[in-house]
Amino acid sequence: MLRRIHGGVSWIDSEKFLDFSVNVNPFGPPKEIVEKLYYCINNKAYKFYSDPNYRLLHKTLSEAYDIDEKNLVHTAGASEALFLIIKCLISRGFRNVFLLSPTYGEPEIKALAKELGARASFILMGEAQDKFYIDLDSLIDNMKDIKNTFLIISNPNNPTGIYIDQDNIKAIAESLEGRGFLIIDEAYSELSRKRGGLDLLNYYDNLIVVRTLTKLFATPGLRTGFLASRNKRLIECLEALRPTWNIDSISSCVFSGRPLRDKEWFKKFISDTSGKIKALREDLENGLKKIGFKVFRSEANFILSKIIINYNPEEFYRKLYLKNIVVRNCDSFKGLDPRYFRVGVKDCSSNKVLLETIKEVIKE
């Protein structure tokens, strides 16, 4: 059976553990979103079906992100967007799926492609001294003679934290023109300070961008995200595959209208949050390096690190767990092994606790 391995302890255990295995906004949902949630509950939104066309949610998302309404499909988070895209493209004959690995969702995407009669292949990033990287020429070369194909890139990438800039994204999209699609999963875009791919959409028919609100607002339980493309035929296919009430009425109530519709608030929130995260990430990177771990340069709200001291990784995870700290063992990702672990950046005092606890553990 397909085993889905992801970070994040359940809410039942959340009081007990300091959870670094999850990558959501470390400051939690902003008060404006929490207030809206109470409003939706007090007005008993859960007693009703969502509007099957999600008119207000659709309008709100398209205004907040400056995307033409007709180019947007709202989804239950980025994961549903990815599943819908894969189903749609395979059903339209695009049977060669490529992933830039290590990356999010490898086993699920492989299983889904196989089930639908397609093939998933993994192109591995290179590992340099202080970062993972892509070799653009060989990436493009790998897919050169393959027709009916599509490539999924998570940008910034989970778990390596690398960011592929717009010029490279353009080169990849252009290399696939006429025979394939490029899907950029930008689940962490708002939490990094890097430019996403939404403003490229107008130039490429074969480009699809995926976004989510679950990471930005630290609300993975309110499953809301979207995908965007200017390709009319593709949007029709995705809308046809989208289940009628794919987003529950509480989530769609929270993210429809205010506060998301307040553009100034939204912009400021993203800018403040990503700025704070960058500073915290740099401190945490330095702390991990001082301990003697390898740290890969990240542009996101998480860090990939590697145990290069003489210490058994399984013991490392077990001992941290006994001290109520959870980090993400990355051995389930292609090309990584148990020495690689990922930590989501948290607030300053939690990050300190992590570093102190790691020091204690490796002394034992």
Ligand X SMILES: Cc1ncc(COP(=O)(O)O)c(C=O)c1O
Nearer to ligand X, 77 or 259 (CB): 77
Residue type, position 274, single letter: S
Q: CB 335 → ligand X: shortest distance, Å?
A: 16
User: Are 99 and 122 in contact, with CB atoms under 8 Å apart?
Assistant: yes
Q: CB 26 → ligand X: shortest distance, Å?
A: 15
3-state secondary structure 210-253: EEECCCCCCCCCCCCEEEECCCHHHHHHHHHHCCCCCCCHHHHH
Nearer to ligand X, 36 or 223 (CB): 223
User: Which DSSP letter does residue 50 get?
Assistant: P
Judged by DSSP in three states, 154 sits in strand
Q: Which residues are at the interface with ligand X (CB under 6 A)?
A: 23, 77-79, 104, 154, 158, 185, 187, 212, 214, 220, 225
Return the residue nearest ligand X (CB atom): 77
Q: CB 31 → ligand X: shortest distance, Å?
A: 21
User: Are 62 and 68 in contact, with CB atoms under 8 Å apart?
Assistant: yes
Nearer to ligand X, 23 or 252 (CB): 23
Nearer to ligand X, 83 or 311 (CB): 83
User: Are 96 and 146 in contact, with CB atoms under 8 Å apart?
Assistant: yes
* Cis before 156 (ω within 30): yes
Nearer to ligand X, 23 or 149 (CB): 23
Beta bridge partners of 294: 306
Q: CB 42 → ligand X: shortest distance, Å?
A: 26
Nearer to ligand X, 22 or 288 (CB): 22
Q: CB 53 → ligand X: shortest distance, Å?
A: 21
Q: CB 255 → ligand X: shortest distance, Å?
A: 12
User: Edge to edge, what strands does the sheet with 328-329 contain?
Assistant: 294-296, 302-306, 340-344, 328-329
